[in-house]
């Protein structure tokens, strides 16, 4: 039996399967099976009011999950699916409350990963899958991350290698009178506006509640401080002088006299940065260090999605020393 066949058996029996996607690994279960959905919340330790994304096999399947679907939904779906874009639409009455957290909306996407696309085609239903990490923690971008984080509480892990995009999908709300981006991601606001031929609103204008998008999220175990370059080096030097062990994620090599326990230099390009981000944070989240220092990426639109994840991962936005 191959891996897909095995995963299918687990899904059909209401069990949980970690699925690879191009963004992050998902903790998947049959979106029509209440027991599987309850188990997802249980394993993640996530409040039941925080709804799940349903992964579907093809664009036509939108009709199984949503109603009053605007033409704009099909336009962006044709342009970006399979891909890192989640659409919020009005829910179909048959959708279980456990999927939507009791809201009148549903989140849908077709992920772009060959194994999961094959799994979805054969399953011929919807797979509800939040990121396969415990609530509030770093998202997994390799099968090993899932194994370490969830262990035996996931029934099967479909190993599809490292995720190509590395951060969670862009969430676009099309359930209201105006389209709004609720979570920035790899598919940019610009790219969406080009297809939709209209300006997008931000989540602050939206009435939709996105419970998972609380301020603190995607966090490593160790405190993470997100610092502008000058403050970063000052703080690192101070920690080094105090003989405190710390890890560092920066764009440049640390200057002389600053010796982190481990440091990683990041590429100055947001796409490659995003691809490595969670893997690097997983690696830097070591027991033996007191904290992780991260250099703030530029405050520009291209870096919005990466900055969003780092700001949520940060323990405090205020500098460590002051
Ligand atoms: O890239 C991704 O989106 C990954 C992969 C596995 O597909 N999934 C993911 O799921 O990031 P999760 O559960 O970690 O984040 C989904 C977000 C949550 O913030 C949730 O509150 C929001 O989507 N969401 C889900 N359904 C919603 C709904 N009906 N209305 C509003 N927000 C919703
Ligand atoms: Mg998540």
pLDDT in tens, 133-186: 999 999 999 999 999 999 999 999 999 999 999 999 999 999 998 999 999 999
Does pLDDT of 258 surpass 70? Answer: yes
Looking at the chain, the whole-number percentage of residues with pLDDT higher than 90 is 88
What CA–CA distance (Å, rounded) separates 34 from 96?
8
Does pLDDT of 112 surpass 90? Answer: yes
Q: What is the mean pLDDT of residues 215-226?
A: 86
Q: Which atom of ligand 1 is nearest to 139's Cα?
A: 14
Q: Which atom of ligand 1 is nearest to 86's Cα?
A: 3
Does pLDDT of 320 surpass 60? Answer: no
- Are 259 and 284 in contact by the 8 Å Cβ rule? The answer is no
What CA–CA distance (Å, rounded) separates 321 from 55?
44
* Integer CA distances (angstroms), 126 to 59, 117, 140, in order: 12, 11, 21
Q: Is 123 exposed, middle or buried (0-12, 13-18, 19+ CB in 10 A)?
A: buried
How many CB atoms are located within 10 Å of the residue 224 CB? Answer: 24
- Ligand 1 shell residues, CB under 6 Å: 21, 23-24, 26, 50-53, 84, 86, 88, 100, 103, 105-107, 111, 129-131, 168-169, 171, 208, 210-213
Q: Which atom of ligand 1 is nearest to 23's Cα?
A: 1
Q: What is the mean pLDDT of residues 243-259?
A: 91
For residue range 41-92, list pLDDT tens digits in order: 999 999 999 999 999 999 999 999 999 999 999 999 999 999 999 999 999 9
Q: Give me the chain's average pLDDT, please.
A: 93
Q: Which residues contact 259 (CB under 8 A, 6 or more apart)?
A: 240
Look at phi and psi of residue 208 and say left if phi exceeds 0, alpha if psi is from -120 to 50, else beta: beta
Q: What is the mean pLDDT of residues 186-197?
A: 96
Give the length of the chain: 322
Q: Which atom of ligand 1 is nearest to 169's Cα?
A: 1
What CA–CA distance (Å, rounded) separates 217 from 290?
20
Which comes out higher in pLDDT, residue 206 or 294?
Answer: 294
Pocket test for ligand 1, best of 21, 44, 53 (most atoms within 8 A of CB): 53
Please give the pLDDT value at position 256: 80
- pLDDT band for 208, please (50, 70, 90 cuts): low
Which neighbouring-strand residues pair with 131?
26
Q: What is the mean pLDDT of residues 177-201?
A: 94
Please give the pLDDT value at position 120: 98
Question: Which residue has a Cα nearest atom 6 of ligand 1?
Answer: 26
């Amino acid at each position: 039996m191959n891996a897909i066949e095995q995963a299918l058996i687990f899904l059909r029996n209401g069990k949980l399967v970690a699925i690879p996607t191009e963004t992050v690994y998902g903790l998947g279960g049959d979106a029509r099976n209440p027991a599987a959905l309850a188990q997802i919340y249980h394993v993640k330790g996530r409040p039941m009011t925080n709804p799940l994304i349903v992964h579907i096999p093809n664009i036509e399947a939108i009709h199984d999950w949503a109603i009053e679907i605007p033409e704009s939904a099909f336009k962006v779906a044709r342009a970006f699916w399979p891909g890192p874009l989640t659409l919020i639409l009005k829910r179909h009455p048959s959708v279980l409350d456990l999927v939507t957290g009791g809201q009148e909306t549903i989140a849908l996407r077709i992920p772009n990963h060959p194994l999961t696309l094959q799994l979805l085609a054969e399953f011929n239903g919807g797979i509800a899958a939040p990121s396969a990490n415990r609530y509030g923690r770093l998202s997994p971008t390799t099968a090993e991350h899932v194994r370490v984080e969830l262990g035996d509480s996931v029934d099967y892990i479909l190993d599809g290698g490292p995720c190509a995009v590395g951060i969670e999908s862009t969430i676009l709300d099309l359930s209201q009178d105006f389209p709004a981006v609720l979570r920035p991601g790899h598919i940019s606001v610009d790219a969406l506006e080009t297809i939709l031929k209209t300006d997008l609103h931000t989540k602050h204008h939206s009435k939709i509640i996105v419970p998972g998008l609380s301020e603190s999220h995607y966090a490593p175990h160790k405190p993470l401080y997100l610092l502008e370059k000058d403050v970063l080096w000052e703080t690192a030097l101070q920690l080094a002088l105090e003989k405190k062990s710390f890890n560092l994620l920066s764009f440049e090599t640390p200057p002389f006299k600053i010796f982190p326990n481990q440091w990683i230099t990041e590429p100055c390009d947001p796409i490659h940065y995003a691809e490595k981000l969670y893997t690097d944070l997983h690696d830097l989240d070591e027991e033996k260090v007191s904290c992780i220092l991260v250099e703030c990426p530029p405050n520009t639109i291209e870096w919005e999605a990466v900055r969003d994840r780092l700001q949520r991962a940060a323990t405090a936005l205020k500098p460590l020393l002051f």
